[in-house]
Chain A
Amino acid sequence: ETGVTQTPRHLVMGMTNKKSLKCEQHLGHNAMYWYKQSAKKPLELMFVYNFKEQTENNSVPSRFSPECPNSSHLFLHLHTLQPEDSALYLCASSQGRGDYEQYFGPGTRLTVT
Chain B
Amino acid sequence: DQQVKQNSPSLSVQEGRISILNCDYTNSMFDYFLWYKKYPAEGPTFLISISSIKDKNEDGRFTVFLNKSAKHLSLHIVPSQPGDSAVYFCAASLDSGGYQKVTFGTGTKLQVIP
Contact = CB atoms under 8 A, between A and B. Distances in A.
Interface string B80-114: 00000000010001011111111111110000000
A55 B97 contact: yes
B27 interface: no
Nearest to B98: A50
A102 B102 contact: yes
B45 interface: yes
Report the contact-size class of chain A (Cβ under 8 Å from the partner): 20 to 34
A98 B41 contact: no
Interface residues of B, number: 28
Nearest to B44: A104
A6 B32 CA distance: 27
Given A55-B97, A94-B99, A100-B49, 17 more contacts: A31-B99, A40-B9, A43-B44, A48-B101, A50-B99, A55-B96, A90-B44, A94-B100, A97-B100, A98-B95, A101-B49, A102-B46, A103-B45, A104-B36, A104-B45, A105-B43, A106-B43
